[in-house]
Structures are given as C-alpha cells and as structure tokens.
Amino acid sequence: MSGGAAGPDPTARAHAAGPDPRGRTGPGTGAATGGPGTGAATGGPGTGSRELILSRIRAAVAGAPEPGITRAYRTSPDQAGAVELFAERVADYRAVVHVVDADEVAGAITAALGRRAAGRVVVPDGLPEEWARAVRSAVEAGAVPLGRGTSGAGAAAIMRDAPALSAAELDAADGVVTSCAVGIAETGTIVLDAGPGQGRRALTLVPDYHLCVVRADQIVAGVPEAVGRLDPLRPLTWISGPSATSDIELNRVEGVHGPRTLEVVIAR
C-alpha cells in the first residue's frame, strides 16, 4: 500500500485555496490549477495514490465484458390522480396536509400560522407577495411573544434572510414558510432547490416548524419525472415528512434534528 507516500502538506493547499465566502472557486483557481488531465489535480498527498488507484482499476477490469443497461422500469407513471395521491402519501408520514384552491392559499397560510401562534417566521426571498402578506397578517394578528421566539425581545416579526440570518437567529424562529420546486406523488416527497421562495438550505432545517406550499403543476407522478425536472447543480433537499428516527427499539419518533412539524398546503 502506498499509505506512506510522501507529498506536500495538504494544509498548504487548503490555505492556498483560501476561505472563499461564496465558495464559487471556478475551475482554474486554487487547487484546481492542475486539472484532472494532468495527473496533478490535487497537488496533495493523493497525487501518487491517484495514479496508483487508477492503474489498479485498469488492471482489475482488463478484458472484462462491457455490460449493457436496460431501463425497462416505468419512467412516466399515470399522472391522473397525482395531486390526490401526493396529499395522501404526504399525510402518511404524519405531516399536516391541506388541499385548497389556488385562491385560498393565503388564507390557509394565515390559519396555519395562527394555529401555531407563530410569532417569528422566516420568509425566504422570492416567496409570492400574496403569501408573504398572509404571513405578515398572521404574525401581526397572532403574535404571542410569551415564551415564543426565545431570542432577544421575542417580538413577533417577519424574518428576512438578507443579510443572512445566523444559525442562532434561525434557531430562535418559530417557523418558516416556503414554496418548493417539485412534489412527487408516489413517494409523498417535496423537493426544494434553493430557488425563489425557498431560500438556502438552513432556512428549512433549523426552525422547528416548516410550512410548505405546493402547486398542483409542480406535482409529478414518480421519481423519474422529478429527477428529470431538477437541476443537479443546485443544492437539493428532498423532504418526505417531518424529521424522524427509528433508532430506539424501532419506535418511530417524529422530530429529532430537523423540523418536528411539517405542514403542507397543496394548491389545486
């Protein structure tokens, strides 16, 4: 084994790449200068191992047959009844589900937040204005600072993520309201892609309550259609019900680290 192969200290390289606040070092900067084709992609201790691993692989599979791939599985299941199936499957995960007409979404948001007595609610950029207004009216009407919103004054407020909210601020929020990118009927899954009205990933993770609005035209029948609609270059979060664990004697417990309550409003 080449575990002892010496090389430049990788820490030097990590520093050379530098802390990049936006993280968008494109190709050709920092560590990437070598490019994979040159055999010096990492410039670190892995350089020798890179060639070693590749040569071991080539020796291992030399002369092996080339297997084909047959995709005989369903790629476009029946779309009929997808909205009803989606609602049923999401509810199966013990999420709270409402199916409403498109013009009733704002009312459903206000009612849901009112039931939670949610005083401090995160609203991502790009949430439709009508829905954001619904959040505001709920926050103003149902503001219950007592014991809620534990940070600072605990005053009822709409929390915008600009400038970026700290993890502690998110932790002090009562909930978050978002839209989504795709809903999958067969599995009851919601996919967020950090697009408009969804925000960065932490917004739907740290607060204990997530209210998500899904439009009927965002719902697809099965997993293959969802994968086809999504952009892999965006960070994706697939959500199927609230956070859960079955680690203790296989008893399902909802809510460990993610939001303990997931409420879904489906707009027909």
Partner 1 sequence: MSGGTFLGMPAFPRNAAAAVQDSQLRFNLRKATHTIRGKRASVVAELPDWAELRAAGKEIKDHTLRNLDRYLLQLEEAVTAAGGHVHWAADAAEANRIVADLVKATGETSVVKVKSMATQEIGLNEALQEEGITAYETDLAELIVQLGDDWPSHILVPAIHRNRSEIREIFQEKMASYGRAAPEGLTDEPRALAEAARLHLRERFLSTKVAVSGANFMIAETGTLVVLESEGNGRMCLTLPETLISVVGIEKLLPSWRDLEVFLQLLPRSSTGERMNPYTSTWTGAVEGQEFHLVLLDNGRTRVLADEVGRQALRCIRCSACLNVCPVYERAGGHAYGSVYPGPIGAILTPQLRGMGSALDASLPYASTLCGACFDACPVAIDIPEVLVHLRGKARHPRAERLGMRAAGWVFDRPARLAGAQRLGARLRRFVPGRLPGPLAGWTDTRDIPDIPAESFRDWWDRTDGGAR
Residues 198-217 contacting partner 1, CB under 8 A = 200-202, 205-206
Site for partner 1 in 27-46 (CB under 8 A): 27, 30-32, 35-37, 41-42, 44-46
Q: How far is the CB of 62 from partner 1 (least distance, A)?
A: 9
Give CA–CA dist 6/11, Å, rounded.
Answer: 14
**Of 153 and 248, which CB lies nearer to partner 1 in the complex structure?**
248
Is the Cα torsion angle 72, 216, 110, 94 positive or negative in sign?
negative
| 76 binding partner 1? (CB under 8 A) | no
CB of 145 or CB of 255, closer to partner 1: 255
Interacting residue with partner 1 among 1, 80, 146, 162 (CB under 8 A) = 1
Nearest to 95 by CA among 247, 254, 256, 206: 254
Q: What is the rounded distance in angstroms from the CA atom of residue 40 to the CA atom of residue 51?
A: 10
Closer Cβ to partner 1, 110 or 198, answer by number? 198
Cα–Cα distance for residue pair 42/3, rounded to 1 Å: 16
Taking the C-alpha atoms of residue 181 and residue 247, their distance in angstroms, rounded to an integer, is 31
Query: Hey, what amino acid is at 33?
Result: T
Residue 142 Cβ vs partner 1, minimum distance, rounded to whole Å = 26
Q: Is 195 among the residues that bind partner 1 (CB under 8 A)?
A: no
Can you tell me the distance from the alpha carbon of 134 to that of 136, in angstroms, rounded to the nearest whole number?
5
* Of residues 135-194, those binding partner 1 (CB under 8 A): 167-168, 171, 184, 186-189, 194
Out of 82, 83, 85, 89, the only residue in the binding site for partner 1 (CB under 8 A) is 89
